[in-house]
Amino acid sequence: MNVELVHIHKSFGAVHANNDISLSIKSGVIQGILGENGAGKSTLMKVLSGFIQADTGQILLDGKAVRIHTPSDAIKHGIGMLHQDPLDFPPMKIVDNMLIGHEGGLFPNRRQVSNSLTELQSQFGFNLDPEAYVDSLTVGERQQLEILRLLWLGARVLILDEPTTGISASQKEKLFETLKKLAEQGMVIIFVSHKLEDVEGLCHKIAVFRQGCLVGETVPPYNTDSLVELMFGKVVSLDEKTQLEGSEPVVEITNLSIDDNRIQIRGVNLTINCGEVIGLAGMEGSGQRQFLRTLAGLIRSVGGELRLSGKRMTGKPYHSFQTAGISYVPASRLEEGLIPGLSVTEHFILSEDQSGFFIDREKAVTICRDRIKTFNIKGEPVTRVEALSGGNQQRALLAMLRTPLRLLLLEHPTRGLDIESSIWIWSQLKDRCKQKTCIVFISADLEEVLHYSDRILVFYNGKVSQPLDAAATTVDQLGQLIGGKGF
């Protein structure tokens, strides 16, 4: 099926989210849509998938103008969208999840559905048990399920919104393989992402969005620098690594053992020097999260010792860890990091040391304005945190950290952020290192782990590798370890 978007305009109030977008995609093409957060790519995809209606402009499918009023209309026209957070029903069985929204008689035939699912799966080498519950699947598997469901419903156009966030490297490889196969069968694949390497590695054609406009289309071979320039309208470059001098040990971990439900970690030894950055790599659920939370004082280790500047921390409550200068920035910003419903100012009131019973609003607003400026947060003191974009929420979290800090623990510090925000976040973190803070962070992005870490620990099913020197490690070596080879 050929897809054409002709002169699409869409405004939300004063924001012109899509400004005269025209894009034509031929059958069998994997079209990349690249742009930073808020560039208008999601809006265009929502128009195409029936979530919202364009103010003006046309959608042509195989040359015929169509009106798409709802997402279920879209799938009837053969347009299926895979959302960033999988839209499925976690507590249900896979077959039931497939059936919801599938039209037919009063009593569905489950056997038939699971047979067609098995048949479809065999084409792509997926391995999902139709009787399994959706919440027992990983994000990557839920994505596979949703792709299968859309194909089963007859999708000829597949839109994927940031599909590589939160899935493992091997699942990503499988996803790309599947998408290539689907394109060979004549499907249109629209791949929305802000990750350059994903788009470059997969797409036949890339359209770049900036501030609501389509600013350029390119075909391979791609030039990364010019793509970045198109995205941001200026040249952005990665920081060089800063070399640290001196090595005063700050954190000493000896023979640390952790038991947490199904993950057991035994006998970790590590010394972190002042200003050092340690990256934790591994498939999600390999134990790196438990390790980080133990360092934060949220999980109590079952054996071994944890010392901060020579002081024994093992078994102390979370509060003592905080006052000792350890801070933890969790991955789920809105669940664990921030309090939805409170404004940015109110967050600073909570995070700053308070004296007196009543809140000094004026002082709080002053602090807040100051931080908003230094941390470049796009928002007002009265803005509620849930209304901030992901990148700005992360900036707000960093703005609330205490100074000075001995140890900063971060989970996926740049997940879901565009390149510019990521670079900015890391420049802030590097500043912290210069002030002698050690950083331990988890990331699923191997490039990030290699680029910013001094040393790397790889986790595999609770096993922990020896610290690797980041400068002497390649992506391949890291990938092998993450897959469990070499332990």
Partner 1 sequence: MDNNTLVGLAGILASAAPVVFAAIGETITERAGITNLSINGLILLTAMAGFATSVTTGSLLLGFLVGAVIGALVSLIVAFSSIALKQSQVAVGFVLALMCRDLSYFLGNPFMGASGPRVPPLPIPGLSDIPVLGVLFFRQDILVYASFLLIAVAYIFVYKTRPGLMLQGIGEQPATAYVRGANVNRLRYLYTIIGGALVGIAGPMYSLSVKVGWKGTITGLDGIGWIALAITIFGGWNPLRAAFGAYLFVLLQWLGLVLQPSLPNIPSQVLQVAPFPLMILTLLLVNIGNSEWVDRTLAGLPEELRRFIARVLRAMRTTPPAALGIPFDNE
Positions in the binding site for partner 1 (CB under 8 A): 51-52, 70-72, 81, 83, 87-92, 96, 99-108, 133, 261-262
Virtual CA dihedral for 314, 398, 393, 195, nearest 10 degrees?
A: -90
How many other CB atoms are found less than 10 A from the CB of residue 42? 20
**Rounded to the nearest whole angstrom, what is the least distance from the CB of residue 76 to partner 1 in the complex?**
9
For 356, residues 6+ apart whose C-beta sits below 8 A from its C-beta are none
Q: Which is nearer to partner 1, 51 or 222 (CB)?
A: 51
Q: Which is nearer to partner 1, 52 or 213 (CB)?
A: 52
Q: Which is nearer to partner 1, 71 or 304 (CB)?
A: 71
Rounded Cα gap, residues 198 and 331, in angstroms: 22
For 349, residues 6+ apart whose C-beta sits below 8 A from its C-beta are 359, 364
Contact 254, 304 (CB under 8 A): yes
Q: Which residues pair with 457 in a beta bridge?
A: 280
**Rounded to the nearest whole angstrom, what is the least distance from the CB of residue 96 to partner 1 in the complex?**
6
Rounded Cα gap, residues 276 and 406, in angstroms: 11
Q: Which is nearer to partner 1, 166 or 381 (CB)?
A: 166
**Rounded to the nearest whole angstrom, what is the least distance from the CB of residue 50 to partner 1 in the complex?**
9
**Rounded to the nearest whole angstrom, what is the least distance from the CB of residue 135 to partner 1 in the complex?**
9
Q: Which is nearer to partner 1, 103 or 245 (CB)?
A: 103
For 41, residues 6+ apart whose C-beta sits below 8 A from its C-beta are 33, 34, 35, 192, 209
Q: Which is nearer to partner 1, 32 or 287 (CB)?
A: 287
Contact 421, 231 (CB under 8 A): no
Tokens of 445: 């992005």
Rounded Cα gap, residues 412 and 296, in angstroms: 15
Contact 419, 235 (CB under 8 A): no
**Which residue in this structure is represented by tokens 């703005």?**
399
**Rounded to the nearest whole angstrom, what is the least distance from the CB of residue 103 to partner 1 in the complex?**
8
Contact 271, 454 (CB under 8 A): no
Q: Which is nearer to partner 1, 106 or 235 (CB)?
A: 106
Q: Which is nearer to partner 1, 134 or 397 (CB)?
A: 134
**Rounded to the nearest whole angstrom, what is the least distance from the CB of residue 299 to partner 1 in the complex?**
14
**Rounded to the nearest whole angstrom, what is the least distance from the CB of residue 243 to partner 1 in the complex?**
45
Helix (H) or strand (E) run with residue 448 in it = helix 446-452
Q: Which is nearer to partner 1, 83 or 371 (CB)?
A: 83
**Rounded to the nearest whole angstrom, what is the least distance from the CB of residue 369 to partner 1 in the complex?**
31
**Rounded to the nearest whole angstrom, what is the least distance from the CB of residue 133 to partner 1 in the complex?**
7
Q: Which is nearer to partner 1, 75 or 295 (CB)?
A: 75
Q: Which is nearer to partner 1, 92 or 244 (CB)?
A: 92
Burial of residue 411 (number of CB atoms within 10 Å: 0-12, 13-18, 19+)? buried
Q: Within 80-168, where are the H helices?
A: 94-99, 110-124, 139-152
Distances (CA, A) of 443 to 26, 253, 412, 428: 36, 21, 5, 17
Q: Which residues pair with 259 in a beta bridge?
A: 264
**Which residue in this structure is represented by tokens 């109110």?**
346
**Rounded to the nearest whole angstrom, what is the least distance from the CB of residue 431 to partner 1 in the complex?**
39
**Rounded to the nearest whole angstrom, what is the least distance from the CB of residue 78 to partner 1 in the complex?**
15
Q: Which is nearer to partner 1, 89 or 232 (CB)?
A: 89
Burial of residue 342 (number of CB atoms within 10 Å: 0-12, 13-18, 19+)? middle
**Rounded to the nearest whole angstrom, what is the least distance from the CB of residue 396 to partner 1 in the complex?**
24
Q: Which residues pair with 79 in a beta bridge?
A: 157
Rounded Cα gap, residues 314 and 332, in angstroms: 26
Rounded Cα gap, residues 459 and 484, in angstroms: 8
